[in-house]
Structure 1
Amino acid sequence: MEKIAIITDSASDVSLELLKEYNISLLPFRVFYQDKEYADRIELTPEMMYERLKDEIPKTSLPSTELIIETLDNLADEGYTHAIFITISQAFSGTYNAIRLICEDYDRLKTFVFDSRSLTMAEGALVVESAELTRQGKSFEEICDLLPKIRDNIELFFTIDTLEYLQKGGRIGRVASAVGQFLNLKPIITIPDDGKFSVASKVRGSKQAISRLENICREYLEKDKYKVWVLDGDAKEKAYELVEKIKEMPNVVECTYAGTIGASLGINTGPGLVGFALERVE
């Protein structure tokens, strides 16, 4: 009989409560400050990261090879027969390739490594959905076959207060070319199928940016039913307000405050991020 483990990296921003509820294994990114290394979301909470961001922008690195192998070994010892990894987009990290290479030589479990082509709760929605499918008794092959379709049903949109952190992190790319250096112009950022940041819209001022986010969400909800996860980067009050606005829209199956994003996205976007992931419900 199959016993299937779901594993994700901390870029998925799945809460510790959901990880525990669904028995999902976490591979935390490593966050390096001048004085110390931390395990993302385990030793370094999002709140701690944003507090320290005022003084220092840390570096991040993918989970270590030793941790990935240790996680697989522990699962095998616990009687698991299969493992499904869901990772941050290959465009943002080498995590997918690192895990895939390890799994090619690992024979204690049958494994499948899946690129979410996104991050934060767009990746997290895939993780939770996969865990739910294991609860429903779906087989390893069935879940693996369903993952591309689930991924195609998920979208992510967010706005940020400043381009400064994307620029410092070297991820400015298409966002800079689309937005330019115009005064107070706020981008609405999404991640299309290529797994890279792209500008969906741009408006003047933070209020207009939040309003545009609401309109984008409404446009989706007017067509189909969706689950929605609202997230923030040190901007909880704005996120709470967005949750209440979305709950009043049509076709909302569920709208949840997913929490503050961790270091994987947060150090590249800085404080002030507000956004949402949505998953079409069929």
Structure 2
Amino acid sequence: MSRIGVAVCGNSGIDYLVHDKEIRIFRSLLYIEGKEYEDFVEITTDEFYDRVTKNPDIDIHTAQTSTGKIHEMYQEMIHSGYDELIIVTISQHLSGTYQNAVLAAKLIPDIPIHVFDSQSLSYVEATLASTAKKMADEQKSSQEILDRLAWIRDHNHIYVTVDTLKYLVKNGRLSNAAGFFGTLFKLKPLLEISKVGKVATVDKIRTTQKARQEMLERFMQEIKGKTVDCFIIYTNNLAELFDLQEELEQIPEIVDVKMIPLTPVVGCHAGPGTMGLGYLEK
């Protein structure tokens, strides 16, 4: 039986959750006014959103983990005794991380390395990694693990609201923005992470309050008859989302409500004031 190692990219936000420390984490880079920061290690969510809120026009850009760095991580895992690897990444439509992980795997042809596209981000991605590690510890085969990950990937949904679309449009992360550029920055639309892992518009709404209300209504309709774990993704708005957490915890279909911050590298493309509401079917 193979000894299977698990790794996940930092876009999962797993750094901010209780997790198995044997899960390797490879993190993207954030550049603020020319200075390099490793996500979570050198800059946290609170620090990042505080800086962006105080200076909305600050020069920020990101870089995914290089193929070389990922290759080094694979080598370290192999030297630690793993003879098969499962690597979970953010959606390939949102970052080049998946492609870099695949390229790094091709540099080690004699070891099975399975790069799994979560087609999502944040809590969904973190859950996939934690599930893979738990199953690996239970001596499940890589195929059994990958089959379970595919099921989880196909049985979740995340809705998103943003304070402004300027960050998503500027960085090319909004897949269906065409058709409403004339009123772009007046909108507070309801967005989603689509089934293929893109940020897509669900509805065009003009106020954040209405967008959040529609998000909750759609969410409640969608989870009817399902048993789910729920999660709220926050940026610089944690305090105002505690009421939503308490409201959701009263709903019988919901087993648990987790709170997770949107990491700085992902938040760079969404902006402060962003929030997400999602679920994973049990």
TM-score (norm 2): 0.90
2:18 alignment partner in structure 1: 18
> What SS is found at the alignment partner of 2:179?
helix
Deviation at 1:28, TM superposition (A): 0.3
2:27 alignment partner in structure 1: 28
CA deviation vs aligned residue, 1:213-271 (integer Å, no higher than 9, x gap): 2212211221211111111111102322221111112211221112x211232111111
Q: Hey, what's the Cα distance between the residues in 2 that align with 1:184 and 1:178?
A: 10
CA deviation vs aligned residue, 1:190-231 (integer Å, no higher than 9, x gap): 121232111123333222222222212211221211111111
Deviation at 1:62, TM superposition (A): 1.0
Map 1:30-109; keep pairs closer than 5 Å: 30-53=29-52, 54-55=54-55, 56-107=58-109, 109=111
Asked if 2 retains the 8 angstrom alpha-carbon contact of 1:32 and 1:38, the reply is yes
Asked if 2 retains the 8 angstrom alpha-carbon contact of 1:22 and 1:131, the reply is no
Q: Hey, what's the Cα distance between the residues in 2 that align with 1:167 and 1:193?
A: 20
Gaps of 5+ in 1: none
- Aligned in 2, Cα 1:66/1:250: closer, same or farther, shift over 3 Å? same
Identity %: 27
Letter in 1 for 2:99: N
1:194 alignment partner in structure 2: 196
Asked if 2 retains the 8 angstrom alpha-carbon contact of 1:178 and 1:199, the reply is no
Work out the number of aligned pairs and report it.
279
1:267 alignment partner in structure 2: 268
Deviation at 1:61, TM superposition (A): 0.9
Asked if 1 retains the 8 angstrom alpha-carbon contact of 2:29 and 2:265, the reply is no
Asked if 2 retains the 8 angstrom alpha-carbon contact of 1:214 and 1:245, the reply is no
CA deviation vs aligned residue, 1:133-183 (integer Å, no higher than 9, x gap): 224332222112222221001111110111121222233441453686178
Asked if 2 retains the 8 angstrom alpha-carbon contact of 1:4 and 1:80, the reply is yes
Letter in 2 for 1:222: K
Asked if 2 retains the 8 angstrom alpha-carbon contact of 1:214 and 1:246, the reply is no
Are residue 127 (structure 1) and residue 129 (structure 2) matched?
A: yes
Q: Hey, what's the Cα distance between the residues in 1 that align with 2:61 and 2:240?
A: 27
Asked if 2 retains the 8 angstrom alpha-carbon contact of 1:240 and 1:257, the reply is no
Deviation at 1:95, TM superposition (A): 1.4
- Aligned in 2, Cα 1:16/1:255: closer, same or farther, shift over 3 Å? closer
Asked if 2 retains the 8 angstrom alpha-carbon contact of 1:159 and 1:187, the reply is yes
In structure 1, which of residues 161, 164, 171 is the aligned counterpart of residue 163 of structure 2? 161
- Aligned in 2, Cα 1:155/1:12: closer, same or farther, shift over 3 Å? same
Asked if 2 retains the 8 angstrom alpha-carbon contact of 1:218 and 1:249, the reply is no
> What SS is found at the alignment partner of 1:177?
coil
In structure 2, which of residues 143, 150, 161 is the aligned counterpart of residue 148 of structure 1? 150
Deviation at 1:129, TM superposition (A): 2.4
Are residue 205 (structure 1) and residue 207 (structure 2) matched?
A: yes
Letter in 2 for 1:268: H
Q: Hey, what's the Cα distance between the residues in 2 that align with 1:36 and 1:161?
A: 26
Deviation at 1:108, TM superposition (A): 6.1
> What SS is found at the alignment partner of 2:113?
strand
Deviation at 1:184, TM superposition (A): 4.8
TM-score (norm 1): 0.90
- Aligned in 2, Cα 1:22/1:134: closer, same or farther, shift over 3 Å? farther
1:7 alignment partner in structure 2: 7
Moved more, 176-185 or 131-140: 176-185
Asked if 1 retains the 8 angstrom alpha-carbon contact of 2:29 and 2:37, the reply is yes
Letter in 2 for 1:274: M
Give the RMSD, CA atoms, in angstroms.
2.1
Moved more, 29-38 or 9-18: 9-18
Deviation at 1:85, TM superposition (A): 0.7
- Aligned in 2, Cα 1:180/1:227: closer, same or farther, shift over 3 Å? farther
Q: Hey, what's the Cα distance between the residues in 2 that align with 1:236 and 1:198?
A: 24
